[in-house]
Amino acid sequence: MDALEILTDLDNVFPYFQPIFSADEHRVIGYEVFGRYRGEEGVISLGPFFLDEGIPEEYRLEVDHVILKKALDKLIALDEDVLLFINKDADLLMYDNADSFLALMLEYQDKGIKLDRIILESTERVYKGNMEHLDHLMNYLRTYGIKVAIDNMGNERSHLDRIGQLAPNIIKVDLNELRSTASAHVLHDILYTLSLLARKIGATLLFKNIEMDYQLQFAWRNGGRYYQGYYLHKPNEDFIDRDFMKEKLREKCHQYISYEKKKLEALHVITEKFNDHISQFLQKNRKGLEYEELIKLLSQFLDQVAFRLYICDENGFQKSANIFKNNQSWMIQKQYLDKNWSWRPYFLENIMKMRVDKRGILSDLYSDIETGETIRTFSYPLNDSDYLFVDLSYEYLYEREGLL
């Protein structure tokens, strides 16, 4: 890319807009701005231009502001609730402490654009400056009503501690990695943590690079409020009708809801079966048995279902050894006797739920600490103080619809 050609032909530098859709209204709620240049070979992206550190910052900043001015000129004509997502390289933002950016924002505020419609994305992939200074600057811009987004969450360069430091209004999650089966499982785990953190700090999740239906479903299922990607609409020089995808998104939403309801129904049915089977078993076999003998009998009863059983009291102290299935045979692991598991997430919450309901419950999916496999645990109240825990094998979950 010839930087000089671009710098001397700013009339042909202009913005492209990629629409962002909402899960609650199924319509366009905003646009992300991308830089484009129209040359002899057609329209090209200015991404490489802005990433080229060989081009002086002031030149890149000049082109950036040309694009931004043209974008803001167009934004004036849109509904007052339409947002504009502006992607700013952290180095360029810090070059003049965002003075030129803020001056431009205030100029357009006088023209009628409220600054709470501006979402500033700070791209930090190659930023080498002081993060604390960058955070101070971002928080200063917030005092004017500008909202802050963190981009590129979900890849190896991103860190959850950045969310805690900056407490952004919007967290963008890149779904490119969901194409890989190997990374999809890891992304699920990251997103679970991310969604909890986002909820705690009041941030909104925006999923980008949605290129297939299953990615949209993944975003919907994992708490995404905003969606962006080629599957929905490509970047374009012009704005689109806000209701362009309304019917399609409503239809997809109904499909996803139906699928999730079927999964929940399947989980309910399995939970009820476990409650009935274990209740019947205990009525026949519990009397006079020590806990170790009880879990031995239960392991045979649940041989095709479970790979680990144990009993804890209401405070999380293990009242029995583990019985663990290894190479199709069961073994007693006495080293687990008296260990405490109250530190595990939701342990005490689940104990209280079982105590009140007098019924067993099925956990969500999680990775077992020792085996690394994806499992669920069925927990069941034996009496007012002690509880049975049955770790269900991956093979069992895999063979039954709705459990994975």
Digit-coded pLDDT (tens) for 99-117 = 999 999 999 999 999 999 9
Cα–Cα distance list, 252 to 82, 221, 392 (Å): 23, 12, 32
In this model, does residue 126 exceed pLDDT 80? no
Domains within the chain, CATH numbers bracketed: 3-230 (3.20.20.450), 259-398 (3.30.450.20)
Please answer whether residues 85 and 46 qualify as being in contact, where contact means their C-beta atoms are separated by less than 8 angstroms.
Answer: no
Nearest to 363 by CA among 330, 327, 382, 387: 387
**Distance between CA atoms of residues 265 and 15, nearest Å:** 48
**pLDDT, tens digit (0-9, with 9 covering 90-100), for 263-274:** 999 999 999 999
Nearest to 367 by CA among 326, 404, 327: 404
What is the DSSP-derived secondary structure letter of residue 288? T
**Distance between CA atoms of residues 196 and 51, nearest Å:** 33
**pLDDT, tens digit (0-9, with 9 covering 90-100), for 287-313:** 778 999 999 999 999 999 999 999 999
Virtual torsion, Cα 308, 380, 292, 328, nearest 10 deg = -20
Q: 149: helix, coil or strand?
A: strand
**pLDDT, tens digit (0-9, with 9 covering 90-100), for 233-264:** 999 999 999 999 999 999 999 999 999 999 99
In this model, does residue 218 exceed pLDDT 80? yes
In this model, does residue 341 exceed pLDDT 70? yes
Q: Express the helix, strand and coil content of the chain in percent, nearest 5 each.
A: 45, 25, 30
In this model, does residue 156 exceed pLDDT 50? no
**Distance between CA atoms of residues 283 and 273, nearest Å:** 15
Chain position carrying tokens 């319509």: 27
In this model, does residue 180 exceed pLDDT 80? no
The pair of structure tokens assigned to 70 is 């043209």
Mean pLDDT estimate for the chain? 91
Nearest to 333 by CA among 341, 324, 325: 324
List beta partners, residue 19. 31
Cα–Cα distance list, 218 to 27, 221, 228, 304 (Å): 19, 5, 13, 31
Q: Is the dihedral of CA 99, 103, 106, 108 positive or negative?
A: negative
Please answer whether residues 167 and 139 qualify as being in contact, where contact means their C-beta atoms are separated by less than 8 angstroms.
Answer: no
Q: What is the pLDDT of residue 109?
A: 97
Provide the b/e sequence for 295-321 (b: ≥16 CB within 10 Å). Answer: bbbbbebbeebbbbbbbbbbebebbbb
Q: What is the pLDDT of residue 162?
A: 77
The pair of structure tokens assigned to 325 is 């299935």
Query: Binning pLDDT at 50, 70 and 90, where does residue 285 land?
Result: confident
What is the DSSP-derived secondary structure letter of residue 211? -
**Distance between CA atoms of residues 227 and 219, nearest Å:** 8
Q: The whole model's pTM is what?
A: 0.87
